[in-house]
Chain A
Amino acid sequence: MSADITMPQLSDTMTEGTLVKWLKKEGEPVKSGEKIAEVETDKAVMEMECFDAGVVAALVVPEGQKAAVGSLLAVIATGSENPAEVKQKAMARSQPTPAPVSTQEAAASRKPAMAASSGSNLITAVSGEIHEPDEIGHGATRQPPVVFPPLPHPDNGGRRLRVSPLARRIAARQNIDLSALSGSGPGGRIVKEDLVNPAARSSPPQVTAPPPLPIAPPLPTAAPVPSAFVQAGNGEQQVIPLTKMRSAIARSLLASKQNIPHYYETIDVDVEDVVNLRAKLNELLEPEKIRLSIGDFVSKAVASALLRNPAVNATFDGTEITRFGDVHLGMAVSIPDGLIVPVLRNVHLMGLKEIRQRSVDLVDRARAQRLKQDEMTGGTFTVSNLGTYGIREFAAIINPPQVGILAVAAAEKRPVVRGDQIVSRTMMSLTLSADHRVVDGATAAEFLRTLKTLLEQPGMMLA
């Protein structure tokens, strides 16, 4: 019996995935548990294992193509089956898949159709006998049909133009090019008002959507960005379709802010001792080519502080609070046009060296979108560090079902008062966002006080 390989659901929010690469060719033998393909989800590129042993009979979906969860990707011939026959059957039952067309080709092929539709090849209703239109739709006498030009499909991110039936009819009668209009209805639907009284609408013509929000400057680590994301500098407005990752971020962050009563506490920490200790340790670790960061000390201190304040090292599902005896630390990592939170497991058992090595590995693979699913789940607390950007202080959004997230800002020289003297010290502001449903203000403050003690006297982490 041949075995089907279908698009797996690799995360809760995944509805489709892109087949990035086949790791086996048709005709190649494959063992159970062997990697057969790379699949891109809304979160990462993941390797997909083959469950059945046999010969790869058919690769139904070509590389680079999207496929819905559950749809057929490939078929394995098992036992003594003839791969050619299996392939024939597989191709016969798989949906005819459109040949992959690049966006540019698609746009080019649409243009002639648009030009034709803006001409006057429109047949309007001829006057004649008009009988009661049959409501069921199969009456003997029918009104002569009004023929509308085909709806233009301008290349606005591959989305269909939305037009109310009435607006469509008015446009057909008056020979108005709908693709030049901006829709004011829900989802950008072009409605009567947009045709009858376009001046009343604020958007100028030729614009298909409100201007996008300002885009953050490209990150230093950013890979070459796709052309759709290049920022315009000449007053042009761009419509940027959401990537799967961006939609997932939009959904989950909105849900977090809407459902979790966030509150914030900020504490200033004197990290002069950490800075000195780091310099010493980095000298000693020089032969091993390891350079600790301030962030590694923060991760270490956060793990210790969480063990001492278990109320913050917890998840909440709306009915029950779960407190954890281990610390699995989520680390927010920015990637081009996105954010990913790999999880450093059992960070409380690690020394600084291991924390450094493992975080570097996770961050690198996160940026390459090569994390495994279980490396992005199961966090008990999250740290977001914008210190390298020189941010003085910020507040982060909780990553549910966790109950807290720590925003780590830059370590910088600040004038501070010691005794009655103003002195220069290296200071860092830490802001905890906590879920007030389960973590009260004093509990959060206690956690921050522990954290401050550990960072100001790093020796306490040994105690």
Chain B
Amino acid sequence: MPIIQFREALRDAMTEEMERDENVFLMGEEVAQYNGAYKVSEGMLEKFGPRRVFDTPISEAGFAGLGVGAACCGLRPIIEFMSWSFTLVCMDQLVNNAANIRYMSGGQFKIPVVFRGGNGIAHQLGATHSHRVEAVYARVPGLIVVSPSTPYDAKGLLKSAIRCDDPVIFLESEKMLADKGEVPAEEYLLPIGTANVEREGDQVTVVSYGRPLQRVVRPAVEHLRTDHGIDVELIDVRTLRPLDVDTIADSVRKTNRCVIVDEDWGYCGMGSGILFKIQKRCFDDLDAPIEYVHSDEIPVPFSHPLEEAMLPSVDRIVSAVKEACYR
């Protein structure tokens, strides 16, 4: 099976869908002539021409709104944000318009738009460029929120997102674009709303997604196995809304304990929402309180050591898992 980069997987997904459906187009800052700020859309202008791949001014509210309008009119836009932090200036388009138009028009308009870009902390970008927006959007009915952690998932989920008739918030990370992984040459789709049991185990369920999964959770799970003899069942939720509670609950019923890891702030963070759903479903199966490992509740520091210190670490995950296991 070919091994390709995360950015290539995203590019292949967009290319295949644009070849398949002429209503699909790509728009965003630097996506066309500069070949993408992070080279995700490299070569796409040349391939599809300026009618389907085009640059926008630095105005998130403007081009996000343009995307919602285009989707209303039957097109299937892919809107690239350089960073999800910048979408705080276009929340009106995403939350008020994209999420609600289908409902408020009584189904007369569907909004098949994909908003995608880098989410979260991507090393020394400072407090205003390091927002983790998953909880902000995952709480909004009408939106779908996807956060892949491997090139394989990224391609399969982005293709499904483009074919989805509802607005999809697609969360990537600048720090994952160079990750490599096996991706089949033949076409495949991955269903939205399905979690992936990435590793089976029977002592504790660890739930995570996206960048934290890639950065610290996988190393922590390995460390727990080799150094502490704790057998973790690892679940990559992949879709944050709608959350696949069934898969998580099945696992927690088996292990009786659960640790959630994300890079959000804890209070009202993504993990808090997941935690609520698990405890609601699994209360009588829990032998220990659900643990939640998250970032410290401070603005994201610019300094490298301070940024590292605020983030979940392998050590923090190991100690949370041990606590959940009464070890």
Contact = CB atoms under 8 A, between A and B. Distances in A.
Interface of A: 133, 135, 137, 146, 164-169, 184-186, 191-193
Contact of A135 (B281, B284, B285, B287): B281
A191 B284 contact: no
A169 to B, nearest CB: 5
Interface in B309-326: 326
Interface string B198-211: 00000000000000
A146 B286 CA distance: 16
Contacts of A169: 284-285
A7 B281 CA distance: 43
Contact of A165 (B245, B277, B286): B286
Interface in B262-315: 276-277, 280-281, 283-288
Contacts of B5: none
Chain B interface mostly: helix
Contacts of B245: 135
Contacts of A186: 326
Contacts, number: 37
A191 B280 contact: no
B281 A133 contact: yes
B256 interface: yes
Contacts of B281: 133, 135
Contacts of A192: 256, 287
B287 A167 contact: yes
A144 to B, nearest CB: 14
Nearest to A185: B326
B326 A135 contact: no
B323 to A, nearest CB: 8
Interface of B: 245, 256, 276-277, 280-281, 283-288, 326
B326 A184 contact: yes
Nearest to B253: A166
A345 to B, nearest CB: 46
Nearest to B246: A132
B288 A164 contact: yes
A119 B277 CA distance: 34
Contacts of B287: 164-167, 191-193
Given A135-B277, A185-B326, A193-B326, A168 B284 contact: yes
**Interface pairs A-B: 9 shortest CB-CB:** A166-B287, A192-B287, A169-B284, A164-B287, A165-B284, A165-B283, A135-B280, A165-B286, A191-B287
A327 B326 CA distance: 50
A53 B280 CA distance: 55
A137 B280 contact: yes
30 contacts: A133-B280, A133-B281, A135-B245, A135-B276, A135-B277, A135-B280, A135-B281, A137-B280, A146-B284, A164-B286, A164-B287, A164-B288, A165-B283, A165-B285, A165-B286, A166-B256, A166-B284, A166-B286, A167-B287, A169-B284, A169-B285, A184-B326, A185-B288, A185-B326, A186-B326, A191-B326, A192-B256, A192-B287, A193-B287, A193-B326
A135 B249 CA distance: 12
B193 to A, nearest CB: 14
Contacts of A193: 287, 326
Nearest to B323: A186
A383 to B, nearest CB: 43
A168 B280 CA distance: 16
A186 B288 CA distance: 10
A404 to B, nearest CB: 37
Given A165-B284, A185-B326, 13 more contacts: A133-B281, A135-B276, A135-B277, A135-B280, A135-B281, A164-B288, A165-B283, A166-B256, A166-B284, A166-B285, A166-B287, A169-B284, A191-B287
